[in-house]
Amino acid sequence: MTSPLLGTYARADVAFERGEGAWLVAQDGQRYLDFGGGIAVNALGHAHPHLVEALTEQAKKVWHVSNLYQIPEGERLARRLVESTFADLVFFSNSGAEANEAAIKMARRYHAAQGQPERFRILTFEGAFHGRTLATIAAGGQKKYLEGFGPKVEGFDQVPFGDHEAMRAAITPETAAILIEPIQGEGGIRPVPNQCLRGLRDLCDETGMLLIFDEVQTGVGRTGKLFAYEWSGIAPDIMSVAKGIGGGFPMGACLATERAASGMTPGSHGTTFGGNPLAMAVGNAVLDVVLAPGFLDHVSQMGLLFRQRLAELKDRHPAVVAEIRGSGLMLGIKTHVPNTAFAAAVRDARMLVIPAGDNVVRLLPPLIVTQADVGEAMQRLDAACAAIEGELKAIAQRGAAE
């Protein structure tokens, strides 16, 4: 039977019925270790009791009222985000792409309000991913996402990853902002060195550009800090957040300083669903857990342990594993075989991982992952590597026989 779903995804032939913590149970009863987390979304794993309670309690009260009225849970979540970050103000959206749209519009509007409407261009980096709307595919600049969708939205200039000279050369009097992921996620878990982030901050201060961090994937504890920018010692002017902040409930946020947000006057931007009571209840519940004393230390400890075990995996399977990357619980394995084949072999071993660019598979376990879960992951990764080595050997033998 063919699917009535638009064929934009090549879906694996497995459907999950329920989940608990780091585990998912498929319709056939098989248990899978979920180290993909729905692409860094299920920050607290599946069916976390505190999240389930927050959502069901809110569901009994009110689901949606629109932003024409006060939403106290949203006020509370915004205040907690502001108190925990560089930001003064928060705009809630439904997704990462929409959080980035808000960030892009805000940066442009800031300069317009300063009397420089010609200053609207934004610098981005090769390998970046910022979402799938028309503006965010232009920001991401990847040909495979732009092709066939008409003229690219004007105003995005892309420079090579880590090329300081190229970036300085790309700045013009029309440049409004720099948009960057502190660690490229879809691009293949490629961290930007802290000293480069500090350099970007200096450059923005020198030239009056705004610095925008896309923390849709790196945020909400993923790297062992609430937000990855904290590792660098500097702060952006604007930051987009999504994925983990809803723990599986669709939501996003655009955070900003008062100065950067100064162009966003009443009526300048909006959303029907963004910040709705269900999302806000869950967002607050996620923060209850992530901000609890010791939680981020747990993430760092599990990240270090997992990374160490992955380094051992590389030593055991040098024909399969090329490199281990990333930080905290945002890790990547660059493979010698096609990453999609590796991800399939891992899935055959009943574990879920996510392919990314640069022939990497991402490991994005829930932040509540335990040492025992990491042990289970290593067994499955070893089994997948062994299966691939077996195949490589069979191919080599066939080659020798011919």
Ligand X SMILES: *Cc1c(COP(=O)(O)O)cnc(C)c1O
**Residues engaged in binding ligand X (CB under 6 A):** 95-97, 100, 129-131, 181, 185-186, 214, 216-217, 242-243
Residue 161, annotated as binding a ligand: no
Residue 380: CB minimum distance to ligand X, A? 24
Q: Closer to ligand X at the Cβ: 46 or 130? A: 130
Residue number with CB closer to ligand X (317 or 355): 355
Residue 96 assigned as binding residue: yes
The answer to the question of whether 172 is labelled as a binding residue is no
Give me the least distance between CB of 307 and ligand X, in Å please. Answer: 20
Nearer to ligand X, 34 or 214 (CB): 214
Residue 215 counted as an annotated binding residue: yes
Does 132 count as an annotated binding residue?
yes
3-state secondary structure the chain: CCCCCCCCCCCCCCCEEEEEECEEEECCCCEEEECCHHHHCCCCCECCHHHHHHHHHHHHHCCCCCCCCCCHHHHHHHHHHHHHCCCCEEEEECCHHHHHHHHHHHHHHHHHHCCCCCCCEEEEECCCCCCCCHHHHHHHCCHHHHCCCCCCCCCEEEECCCCHHHHHHHCCCCEEEEEECCEECCCCCEECCHHHHHHHHHHHHHHCCEEEEECCCCCCCCCCCCCHHHHHCCCCCEEEECHHHHECECCEEEEECCCCCCCCCCCCCCCCCCCCHHHHHHHHHHHHHHCCCCHHHHHHHHHHHHHHHHHHHHHHCCCCEEEEEEECCEEEEEECCCHHHHHHHHHHCCEECEEECCCEEEECCCCCCCHHHHHHHHHHHHHHHHHHHHHHHHHHHHHHHC
In terms of CB distance, is 149 or 304 closer to ligand X? 149
Residue 84 beta carbon to ligand X: minimum distance, rounded to whole angstroms: 20
Q: Please state the closest distance from residue 107 (CB atom) to ligand X, in A.
A: 16
97 is in an annotated binding site: yes
Q: Which is nearer to ligand X, 242 or 343 (CB)?
A: 242
217 labelled ligand-binding: yes
Q: Is 70 annotated as a binding residue?
A: no
Nearer to ligand X, 23 or 129 (CB): 129
Residue 3: CB minimum distance to ligand X, A = 21
Query: From the CB of 116, what's the least distance to ligand X, in Å?
Result: 27
Binding site, annotated residues for pyridoxal 5'-phosphate: 96-97, 129, 214-217, 272
Which residues sit in the known binding site? 96-97, 129, 132, 214-217, 271-272
